[in-house]
A and B are shown apart, each in its own frame.
Chain A
């Protein structure tokens, strides 16, 4: 029964997990099994020592029952090697389940999940919830006192049971902006438009306008900077230049490192450079998105159609001419598409930059929460949701029309007067918006080129990483908590999103008026929840379940729910209708049809989205601590607060390594799935 190769592979896997699979030339499988065993072993031991996870006492011997699960995994691996050697198929389901079980037991414990608090603290949370549902938008004067007019008051006003004048709250003025009288500028006085020492009504931008300006400027600047850099990071361009490959590798590494550090963390660093304010936000956001765009752009350059390049080259053109005439015309639409996508992402990021950089709506949120102004906070959340939903919509539709890139039928390019006029108008509007944003964000190049002396110290300390054992222990522990937070949040959010996603899939909901309402309601819920960054939700959960990793996990789970719900329901809408028709024709019930015609089609995209979301959540989890959500962000902000930049440098190094590794792993995994 045992032929020799079978025996060798099986015994190898018994001694070193994965080695048998490796021996059978299933290299990936072998490496993954080996690494998984190593990581799980480490994690169980770490959980037992640091958190007493799964601790059981046998006589005087203390150990963790999770070792038993590892043993089962080990047995699965041996069986897997034996089955593969025998030329039979071997499913990974049991192996994966055992690993998932272990990971979630550990995640549950290290993120201090206390679901009972969701219930015991509910009465207190309810008060805040009610305030959140009644945002400070409309004010009415009651006995000369300005009072927030909530929904009940508004309804009463409509019925005529409540009398009084309604006006927009001061809070909305803080958020959106207000007209104030300012001393007239000189040029208006000289033109005779205003009296000497007179005042003119001026629009003073609110925090949300500032947020929008930060997002727009960062997108513009990062696009302009990323274009030249992307050519230096494109394999097919650099391999044609002597010594170009060195530049290529340096650029790629550089972009990957910069990209791994979240915008908010860049904000922490930049604040030391130019001081608190929207300008710091613009710089931080620009740095991160140059790296993100640079990577996407360069990949786009690498994927161009080679034909025109060959043709232009054959006519005797040199490299500069080839780029100008064969490469650039091809990459304009995808570049624009990525810029629009980035604009969407940047707008979201600029809503939370204020937590550290002091500009935009994030700063407003921090202030109002500190003063306990939950109704003001709620108004800010609603405004953010509306703006982001709009941006998302504009960016998506515009992107679609650009990427379609249909040639105009027999229309001459850019020749008619109206086309030229329209172009000029767009340019004028664009320049006006740019100048306004420039003004609102208080860009000050003088600050930029004369950084505070502390900044030089920061850079020096930052790069002299502190690897003393207590720092390394603390950072490692927090990093693990962060990873487990992301894991748990992804699972919770996705599991809850799954049933909801069926309600938001147009091809499954019926045609009745009721189900159409359900469809729109679920879609709306997804869109609102995912348009607000997790960092902005943390305050709610800090109040509800207390400061700590669990609050952060729940906040992450909420955005996960929104995004996964949307992606899941779209995946369901994109399935082929053929199998559904076939199953229905057999007289199957709706539930049976879902089980046999839909579920098999949606499992691969669901898994792929899960991994994608996990990748996003890891990045978000690294900053969730800034608002009291625990994890590595808390450690980082503490080190920054203590001006211990050498320790902060260690933290950032950890984040770069972990995020880059996760990014790589998730890309590989998703490749395997598709």
Chain B
């Protein structure tokens, strides 16, 4: 279980990205995080694996205090997979190498300096690539793939960590609608069949309705909604996105 209590993040330039955010996520949930650009979604996800250092508040995950200054960050991070809006692949490295980097949290510095990964890791990488349908592309350069394919590599990389939790930061915002569904379906399979908890920030409400089991909404760094996806009615919608907003859908 993931528990976020009174989380606050103030950036050095004074921006208050998160204001006293608290919520819980049970194991096996698919939690959608919604809100406008700049509402603090990315900051929230990055505080959970401390890519961004929270200013105050407490995050506990399966009984471990993530925010503890003495926490073993490497041990925590390697159990939490992450998928990014811009895929964040090393463009010049091969697809296989990119997938293998997901395993770095388990490999010693010296071995990985020499580029050594165990045969099991290779086998795991190939089977993960197979799972996202890209085993053919293992040895090509990452930047020769299309956007949708690159995001599937990103998912395979996260799977290498054998994660219990996946943080997905706008995983489909850079993709067209058809690809968006295909990527989210992979996340859904991981959630439903492998029991991996998913925290996913999304832009489009119909994607939230279709895939999420629960949703939270942020506005100006504050938690303004917590509940089931279908509970987001017009009034809620305007509270989250502002009075001017209109519903648009993705088909």
Query: A residues within 8 Å of B by Cβ?
Result: 305, 307-308, 310-318, 320-321, 324-326, 329-330, 332-333, 405, 407-413, 415
Contact = CB atoms under 8 A, between A and B. Distances in A.
B92 A329 contact: yes
Contacts of A415: 139
B92 A325 contact: no
B37 interface: no
Contacts of B91: 305, 308, 329-330, 407
A330 B92 CA distance: 7
Interface in B79-114: 80-82, 84, 86-94, 97, 101-107, 109, 112-113
Nearest to B76: A316
A325 B104 contact: yes
Interface size grouping (class) on chain B: 35 or more
Interface stretch (B19-27, B154-162, B188-196): B154-162
Given A314-B82, A315-B101, A321 B109 contact: yes
Contacts of A320: 109, 112-113
Instruction: Give the top 5 A-B pairs by smallest Cβ distance, nearest first.
Output: A316-B105, A316-B78, A307-B88, A317-B104, A311-B88
Contacts of B6: none
B248 interface: no
Contacts of B74: 316-318
A329 B51 CA distance: 21
A322 to B, nearest CB: 8
Given A320-B113, A325-B112, A410-B140, A314 B80 contact: yes
B184 to A, nearest CB: 19
B140 A315 contact: no
Contacts of A307: 84, 86-88
B75 interface: yes
B144 interface: yes
Given A311-B101, A318-B109, 14 more contacts: A307-B86, A307-B87, A308-B90, A308-B91, A312-B90, A314-B51, A314-B80, A315-B102, A316-B105, A317-B101, A318-B74, A321-B107, A321-B109, A410-B140
B104 A315 contact: yes
Interface in B53-92: 73-78, 80-82, 84, 86-92
Nearest to B86: A307
Contacts of B92: 329-330, 332-333, 405, 407
Nearest to B74: A316
B143 interface: yes
A407 B141 contact: yes
B101 A312 contact: yes
B39 interface: no
A382 B167 CA distance: 65
B49 interface: yes
B154 A311 contact: yes
Most chain B beta carbons < 10 A, residue from A311, A313, A320, A321? A311
20 contacts: A308-B89, A311-B84, A312-B90, A314-B49, A315-B81, A315-B102, A315-B103, A315-B104, A315-B157, A316-B77, A317-B105, A318-B74, A321-B107, A324-B112, A324-B115, A325-B90, A325-B112, A329-B90, A332-B92, A413-B94
Contact of A412 (B49, B81, B115, B140): B140
A405 to B, nearest CB: 7
Contacts of A313: 51, 77
Most chain A beta carbons < 10 A, residue from B78, B88, B144? B88
B144 A407 contact: yes
Contact of B105 (A315, A330, A333, A411): A315
A311 to B, nearest CB: 4
B22 to A, nearest CB: 23
Contacts of A308: 88-91
Contacts of A408: 140-141, 144
Nearest to A411: B140
Contacts of A413: 94, 139-141
Nearest to B109: A320
B193 to A, nearest CB: 22
A311 B109 contact: no
B139 A321 contact: no
A408 B140 CA distance: 8
Contacts of B105: 315-317
Contacts of B89: 308, 311
B215 to A, nearest CB: 23
Most chain A beta carbons < 10 A, residue from B49, B91, B103? B91
Contacts of B49: 314
Contacts of B84: 307, 310-311
A313 B93 CA distance: 17
B104 to A, nearest CB: 4
A424 to B, nearest CB: 19
Contact of A321 (B80, B104, B167): B104
A227 to B, nearest CB: 14
A314 B168 CA distance: 12
A167 B102 CA distance: 67
A120 to B, nearest CB: 63
Contact of B90 (A316, A330, A333, A410): A330
Contacts of B102: 315
A233 to B, nearest CB: 21
A312 B98 CA distance: 9
Interface in B115-149: 115, 139-141, 143-144
B88 A310 contact: yes
B237 to A, nearest CB: 31
A72 B141 CA distance: 64
A316 B101 CA distance: 10
Most chain B beta carbons < 10 A, residue from A317, A320, A332, A408? A317
B113 A324 contact: yes
A410 B86 contact: no
B200 to A, nearest CB: 15
A325 B88 CA distance: 12
Contacts of A410: 140, 144
A315 B101 CA distance: 8
Contacts of A412: 139-140
A408 B161 CA distance: 29
Nearest to A326: B90
A315 B139 contact: no
A315 B160 contact: yes
Contacts of B87: 307
A416 to B, nearest CB: 11
B161 A316 contact: yes
Contacts of A405: 92
Contacts of B86: 307
Most chain B beta carbons < 10 A, residue from A308, A316, A324, A408? A316
Nearest to B105: A316
Contacts of A407: 91-92, 140-141, 143-144
Nearest to A405: B92
